[in-house]
Amino acid sequence: MVKNFNIIKALCRSALSNPSDAIVHQISRLRDSYEKEGYKKEAKSLTNLLSTSQTNAEMSPSRIEKSFVARGKEEITAKTVLPVDKETSTPLAEVFFNSELPLEIPLFDDNIQHGIKSIIHEWTQYDKLLEIDAMPASSCLIYGVPGTGKTHLAKWISKEIGIPVVLARLEGLMSSFLGTTSRNIGNLFAFANRYNCVLLLDEFDAIAKLRNDPNEVGEVKRVVNTLLQCLDSRREKGFTIGVTNHQGLLDPAIWRRFDIQMEIPVPSSEVMFSLLKNFLQPLVFKESELKFLVWCVEGASGADAQMMSNWIKRALVLDKNTNLVTIMRRFALLNSGRMDPIKRKIMLHSDEDFISALLADKNYSFKQKDLAPIFGMTASSLSKQISKLKESEKI
């Protein structure tokens, strides 16, 4: 007789009153080990408990479906052991708890903002949807050019849903050993399915490359096939967010696995205005100054706007006599990759060209009196310069 078996059995019975895959797995392991060690009676007793619990689960129609999100899942804590790559011991994931996730949603146009809020509404109302057999969307692919706030958004969505994020770590997942990457992906999904969490696959293209890429052979196919199976298996287990800025590299079958596919564009001029205003805080700028800055960085990403704002703050603190035009010219000179090449050329040319380009841009409707202080001129001297320029163009 196993010592304290009555207590062990009572513990198992109580755990099985709200069974998760992990609980069933562990009790099955215990049963198997009793069986192996010759404790037949105890093993049979656990088998009975397991089969009663399964019958109960089958008799309760909503149970399996309700395990979709939190029901019966284990909670991740700071002590939860994360899965690792067996060869290198590198963790396959990193966990972010609520307090470590962004408080604010990134700034987007209203229609994107509404779209995002509707996903969250759906995800937090899954019980209601399940009652009428409407399976909520459980996966979302966020894609778009670099620096547009995709990772920030994915983390914020998880924060709103109110469960921790399991962020896949690519350096852990990808292995040069044949077959290991697939095994790691399988282990990562098994971990995410066991716990109540959002699985975040950032820089997703690295593991979801086109299967028919002629440069990659069998291993990529194997990895993508594993990923497809894992995404299918997760469908009814929890939320998954994929993020990529190389959407063209994704295998079409992977695309299809995501219920929601959301493109994040570079900020519109209205959004850029608000972004700069926020990023430049605590410094306060006039509306015309912010509009001027928006003109300069139009088409850039939110991350570029953040970088430029820090640049402006540093320049203004270090040199009290400088002005926005000088700062932006220096920024244009040293940040060619972040700016529209045509605007950059204009900015780096003469004041006259710069001012004329600003005044000619119908989308901004700049007024001479607003631009004059930005260029460190009086309204009348700016007006004279423009007239001179017009005269010379006539000649």
Ligand X SMILES: Nc1ncnc2c1ncn2[C@@H]1O[C@H](COP(=O)(O)OP(=O)(O)OP(=O)(O)O)[C@@H](O)[C@H]1O
Interface with ligand X by CB under 6 A: which residues?
Answer: 106-108, 146-152, 245, 267, 275, 302-303, 306
CB of 148 to Mg ion, least distance (A): 9
Cβ at position 202, least distance to Mg ion in Å: 6
Q: Residue with structure tokens 């409407």?
A: 134
- Kindly give the pairing relationship between strand 93-96 and strand 165-168: antiparallel
Give residue number: closest CB to ligand X: 302
Nearer to ligand X, 39 or 279 (CB): 279
Q: Which residues pair with 209 in a beta bridge?
A: 250
- Residue 172 interacts with, from Mg ion, ligand X, none (CB under 5-8 Å by kind): none
Q: Which residue is nearest to Mg ion (CB)?
A: 151
Q: What x/- string results for residues 138 through 177 when contact with Mg ion is judged by CB under 5 A? A: -------------x--------------------------
User: Which residue, 164 or 302, is less far from ligand X as judged by CB?
Assistant: 302
Smallest separation, CB 248 to Mg ion (Å): 17
Residue with tokens 């063209």: 248
- Nearer to Mg ion by Cβ, of 84 and 170: the residue is 170
Q: Rounded to the nearest whole angstrom, what is the least distance from the CB of residue 246 to ligand X in the complex?
A: 9
170 binds, among ligand X, Mg ion, none (CB under 5 to 8 A by kind): none
Q: Is 240 in the site for Mg ion (CB under 5 A)?
A: no
Residue 303, contacted partner among ligand X, Mg ion, none, CB below 5-8 A by kind = ligand X
- State which residue, 92 or 153, has the beta carbon closest to ligand X: 153
Q: Is 261 exposed, middle or buried (0-12, 13-18, 19+ CB in 10 A)?
A: middle
In the complex with Mg ion, which residue's Cβ is closer, 72 or 267? Answer: 267
CB of 257 to ligand X, least distance (A): 20
d(CA 358, CA 349): 13
Q: Beta strands 198-201 and 239-244: pairing type?
A: parallel
By C-beta, is 26 or 274 nearer to ligand X?
Answer: 274
Q: Are 174 and 209 in contact (CB under 8 A)?
A: no
CB of 80 to Mg ion, least distance (A): 25
As given in the structure block, the two tokens for residue 381 are 């001297």
Q: For tokens 């972004």, what's the residue?
A: 275
Q: Where are the alpha helices (DSSP H) in 98-243?
A: 110-124, 126-131, 150-161, 170-173, 180-194, 218-234
Of 19 and 147, nearer to Mg ion (C-beta) is 147
Radius of gyration over every alpha carbon of the chain, rounded to an integer in angstroms: 29
Reading the block at residue 19, the tokens are 């069974």
Shorter beta-carbon distance to Mg ion: residue 20 or 151:
151
CA distance 311 to 330: 10
146 binds, among ligand X, Mg ion, none (CB under 5 to 8 A by kind): ligand X
Q: How far is the CB of 104 from ligand X (least distance, A)?
A: 7
CB 255 within 8 A of CB 204: no
Could you tell me the smallest distance in angstroms from the CB atom of residue 170 to ligand X? 12
Structure tokens at 205: 């293209």
- CA–chain centroid gap for 377, Å, is 45
Taking the complex as a whole, how short is the minimal distance between the CB of residue 242 and ligand X, in angstroms?
Answer: 12
If binding is defined by CB under 5 A, does position 247 make contact with Mg ion? no
By a kind-dependent CB cut-off of 5 to 8 A, residue 152 interacts, out of Mg ion, ligand X, none, with ligand X
φ, ψ (nearest 5 deg) of residue 112: -70, -45
| C-beta of 147 vs 172, nearer to ligand X | 147
Listed residue (132, 14, 119, 137) closest to 69, CA to CA: 137
CA 323 to chain centre: 37
Q: Say how many residues touch Mg ion, by CB under 5 A.
A: 1
Whole-angstrom distance, CA of residue 124 vs CA of residue 192 = 19
Contact residues for Mg ion, defined by CB under 5 A: 151
